[in-house]
Each structure stands twice: as structure tokens, then as C-alpha cells.
Amino acid sequence: MGTDVDFVVAGAGGGLAGAIRAAELGARVLVIETNSHFRSGNNTSMSTAMIPGAGTRWQRELGLEDTPKTFVDDMLRKTHGTVDLPLAEALAGISAPLVTWLADSIGLPIELTTDFAYPGHSVLRCHTIPHRTGSALLKGLLDRASQLPNLDIMVPARVVDIAGSPAARIVVIEHPDGSLEEISTSAILLATNGFGGNAELVKLHIPEMADAHYHGSAESRGDALTIGSRLGADSGFLNAYQGHAALSYPQATLVGWATVLHGGILVNLDGERFGDETTGYSEFGHMELLQPEHAGVLVFDRQIHDACLLFDDFRQTVDAGALRWATSPSALAEQFGLPKQTFINTLDQVHMYATANSACPFGRTSWPHDLDRSDLVGVRVTAAIFHTQGGLRVDQHARVQRPDGVVIDGVYASGGSAIGISGFGASGYLAGNGLLPALGLAYLAGEDIVTRLGR
Ligand SMILES: Cc1cc2nc3c(=O)[nH]c(=O)nc-3n(C[C@H](O)[C@H](O)[C@H](O)COP(=O)(O)OP(=O)(O)OC[C@H]3O[C@@H](n4cnc5c(N)ncnc54)[C@H](O)[C@@H]3O)c2cc1C
């Protein structure tokens, strides 16, 4: 029996990688996207476009040695051994081919981020594109998709159910007028992201961030979890998420952790630091939530400011008027209503850590730069949750599994719809752990469906 298409991809974010890969290999592909404004509204478009690749030609050009095994070891270390190992190995293994494909097949101007190392990565392995924006990444994918005659995108339409048999899946879609349509397909990829936009689910699975600002796509309602559970799928790591402690307030732009990694600090509204900022921006989101008014002030100086201009997100923060400059610690404290003497003491201590080898009580050892106290800048920031990292349990081909491990034929999941590689909670998140499962699992699904079709 013939099907309308070979492969349906629900969600035009990271799922596009799977759609394009399958179409390149000859499959008839239909992408179904619910949001007309997805080009600048989904999480892939909102991202900073940091994609890890272990063992790429960009790393080799700089003489950097890296392997999938080293990457997996980093994931194990960051998640305290809780990462799903087969998935970590599969994604670490595909990471370099994926980044290479993004350059050579999609045509993106890939470069290795060399200005600083992200927390937890033992080697420089985060690849990106100029301006470091997810919208440019998404545009590159969409431009490539438009060149493939066997790939169509239907927008706006929402995937609401999967029916049929393993031999021919029926995808039920809902049009904006409420009418339903059924499309038959050999396989479907659920790439609808997680449940960050669903406050009830966040409260249920991630209560520690129930009061945090959500900074992600409103369409991340947990549709994949709902649809998958109806099919008897297993789920896991539902309390995993990426938090962030550097979202400007009230502007809600991403200031970015490069500020910290270049030598900046984060203080609470009492003017005190509250941890080792270099452990990671994700876990710092929750730590910031526990501070007065769920808030903090990121403090850095002009040199760090200039280094961060490489990021479009940071430029937007500047353009939004979120930065306040001061020529002394006392003047900066006044700008943010911080207790002056406490804040001055904090900066005195930071100066000692950076210059006199004095030990930071929180254990921070990276002090690449002594802040210039005559040219300081601060941004008020608030704790945020960016996306959830738990979801449908998948194998190394992105195939959705039942609780007994048996694969549900013809159903795949990627990105926020699937379990991720960050273990539990917030602290297992390594930079790139969002886009690698989004693009990488979709890519693996695209290859698997074509193998299955015998093309
Ligand atoms: C500010 C910010 C910065 C980030 N930076 C990085 C980074 O640098 N590196 C990194 O690895 N990760 C980063 N992330 C995380 C990363 O963006 C996400 O993990 C990743 O983009 C998720 O991809 P996805 O395909 O699962 O979801 P999305 O890109 O959100 O795509 C899902 C799509 O599905 C659509 N959809 C939803 N439900 C349905 C339905 N039922 N039917 C049809 N369509 C549907 C949505 O409209 C959406 O377009 C960042 C996140 C944020 C918010």
C-alpha cells in the first residue's frame, strides 16, 4: 500500500535537519509546523547557534585533538554519570559529521568558537556561525530545504495525533480553522520541542523552576509527550532542563555567559557573589532564583563588553539599553541599589582572586582578567528556564521506545521531544546540549528512515 509521503517531520526547528537529510537521500518528506512565525519564534531560531563537534576539521586546523570518546567523558563528568550512555555515544559520534554536513551540504559558514571555553567541555568544540544567531542557522536550513523538490513544508498546521499501524502511520493534523486532516506516512519524527511553554507540566516535573521566567517558544507545550504516551512510549529525565542566569531584566534579552567566562562576576541584590559562576549558566539559573527578588547583577568592564560584541544577543542587550556604566564600584552600586560597602568588599575580594592568587571560597579558579574598576558595567538579570531536556525515550537511531525497550515502529523523536544528554536537573547541561540532540537526533532519524525504506 502506498503512503502519501515517506516521512513526516512535526516541527520546523531542529527537525529540519532530519527532513533535509531524508530528502537528500531520496525520501518524500513533509514538514508540518504549527507556528506561522516559527522563523524567529522557535527555540532553534532563538538559540546562540553553539553546536558541539568532536574531531572536526576546524579543530584539527588549530591542532586540537578531540574524539567522541573525550566528549562522552565530558558528558559523564558533567552529569555525574547519569547521562543515557548509548545516546551520548550516538550523538558524540554524529557530532563531527553533523557539523561538517552543516558546512558542506547546508552551506553554513561554520567556525570554531575560540574566544573562550564553555564550562565542562575539556576541548574547544563549540562550533557556530558569524553573529552566533539561531535565526541564521534556521534560515540556512530553510534555504537548503527549499532547494529539495521532494521536501514540502505545511504551515500553519498542528500535529495532534498518530494513528494507523506500524506499516503505515496516519498523522492527524489540525488546521487553524479546527478541521482535521489525515496523512499517511512510513514514519514520523516528533520534533515539537519539550514542555517549557506549559506552566503546569513545568510545575509538575521541574518544581524548582516553577517561578522562573520562561524564555523559549510558546509552542513548546509538550505535544510530543502527549502523543507519544498515547502510543505507549516511555519517557525519561523529565526534570532535566537548561536554566540561565543571564537574561536581562526587564528587557528579557540574553546577556550571555561569555561575560562571566571572560572574567565577569554575578552578585545578588545584597551585593554578594553566591557561587562559582564558571560551573555553568544552567545550574546558576536556579541558584539565582533563590536570591532576593530572583535577581542578580552581572558585573564586568569595557574590555569584556567589547569581547562579547561578537554575539548578536549581547548586541541586542546593549541596544535594549540594559547596560549601566560607572566609573567606580560605589557608583555602580548606586545604579542598582546595592549596599555600597558590601559591593565594594566583593570587588576587593575579586581583585585579590584575579591578581594575588587568593582562593575564592566558592572554588572559582578561572580569573582571566582583573576588572577595571574605573570602567565598570552592570546588567540586572533574572533567573530563567530556556527549555526542557527530558522527553520520549529514544535509541541511538532516534526511534521512540516503549518501557520494555521495544521500538515503536515508524515513530522517532528529537530535540526537546526526546530524552537529552544532560542527565537530571540543570547541572548536567553542557553548551550545545540543546542543538546537538535537536539536529543530531533528527539527522539520525532521517538516515534511519531511508535505510528502512531500502533506498
Ligand atoms: C535563548 C536560547 C539560547 C540557546 N542557545 C543554545 C545554543 O547555543 N546551543 C544549544 O545547543 N542550544 C541552545 N538553546 C537550546 C536550543 O535552542 C533547543 O534545545 C533546540 O533548538 C530545540 O530544538 P527543537 O527542534 O527541539 O525545538 P524548536 O526549535 O523549538 O522547534 C520545534 C518546532 O515545533 C513546532 N511545534 C510545536 N508543537 C507542534 C505540533 N504539535 N505540530 C507541529 N509543529 C509543532 C514549534 O512551533 C517549533 O517551530 C538555546 C535556547 C534558548 C531559548
Q: Give residue-wise pLDDT tens across range 227-263.
A: 999 999 999 999 999 999 999 999 999 999 999 999 9
**Number of residues written out for the chain:** 455
What percent of the chain shows pLDDT beyond 70?
A: 100
Stretch 109-125: mean pLDDT, rounded? 94
Instruction: Output the residue whose Cα is nearest ligand 1's atom 33.
Output: 11
Q: Are residues 160 and 175 in contact, defined by beta-carbon separation less than 8 angstroms?
A: no
CATH number of 5-240+389-453: 3.50.50.60
The C-alpha cell of 96 is what? 563531527
Task: Give the atom of ligand 1 at the shortest distance from the alpha carbon of 10.
Answer: 43
Task: Pinpoint the alpha helices (H) of 105-234.
Answer: 134-146, 199-205, 223-230
State the distance from the centre of ligand 1 to the C-alpha of 221, rounded, in angstroms. Answer: 11
- For the cut 60, the answer to whether the pLDDT of residue 1 exceeds it is no
Dihedral of CA atoms 284, 285, 286, 290 in degrees, nearest 10, equals: 90
Task: Give the atom of ligand 1 at the shortest distance from the alpha carbon of 227.
Answer: 41
Choose which residue among 387, 389, 421, 436 to substitute to test ligand 1 binding: the one with the highest number of ligand atoms within 8 A of its C-beta: 387
Classify the C-alpha dihedral 221-230-416-140 as positive or negative: negative
Predicted pLDDT at 398: 98
Quickly state the pLDDT bin for 166 (edges 50, 70, 90): confident
Task: Give the atom of ligand 1 at the shortest distance from the alpha carbon of 224.
Answer: 41
Could you give phi then psi for residue 173, rounded to 5 degrees? -120, 150
Distances (CA, A) of 447 to 24, 359, 400, 408, 412: 10, 51, 15, 17, 12
CB burial of residue 199 (10 Å; 0-12, 13-18, 19+)? exposed
State the distance from the centre of ligand 1 to the C-alpha of 279, rounded, in angstroms. Answer: 24
Stretch 73-93: mean pLDDT, rounded? 97
The C-alpha cell of 36 is what? 506561522
CB within 8 A of 384, min separation 6: which ones?
A: 212, 213, 214, 215, 243, 244, 245, 247, 285
Pocket around ligand 1 at a 6 A CB cut-off:
10-15, 32-35, 38, 42-44, 46-50, 158-159, 191-193, 215-217, 219-220, 223, 254, 386-387, 415-417, 432-436, 438
Query: Which residue has 578561572 as its cell numbers?
Result: 366
State the distance from the centre of ligand 1 to the C-alpha of 330, rounded, in angstroms. Answer: 41
Task: Give the atom of ligand 1 at the shortest distance from the alpha carbon of 160.
Answer: 41
State the distance from the centre of ligand 1 to the C-alpha of 235, rounded, in angstroms. Answer: 19
Task: Give the integer Cα–Cα distance in Å for 314 and 261.
Answer: 14
State the distance from the centre of ligand 1 to the C-alpha of 12, rounded, in angstroms. Answer: 9
State the distance from the centre of ligand 1 to the C-alpha of 176, rounded, in angstroms. Answer: 21
Query: Which residue has 532530519 as its cell numbers?
Result: 18
3 state DSSP class of 288:
helix
Domains in the chain: boundaries: 5-240+389-453, 241-385
- For the cut 70, the answer to whether the pLDDT of residue 423 exceeds it is yes
Quickly state the pLDDT bin for 277 (edges 50, 70, 90): very high
CATH number of 241-385: 3.90.700.10
pLDDT by residue (tens digit) across 190-219? 999 999 999 999 999 999 999 999 999 999
- Residue 156, preceding bond cis, omega within 30 degrees? yes
Supply the mean pLDDT for the chain. Answer: 96
Choose which residue among 153, 192, 247, 429 to substitute to test ligand 1 binding: the one with the highest number of ligand atoms within 8 A of its C-beta: 192
Closest C-alpha among 26, 87, 106 to residue 447: 26
pLDDT by residue (tens digit) across 35-61? 999 999 999 999 999 999 999 999 999
DSSP for 407-448, written as a single string: EEEEEEE-GGGB--SS-STTTT--TTTTHIIIIIHHHHHHHH
Predicted pLDDT at 11: 98
State the distance from the centre of ligand 1 to the C-alpha of 217, rounded, in angstroms. Answer: 7
Predicted pLDDT at 23: 98
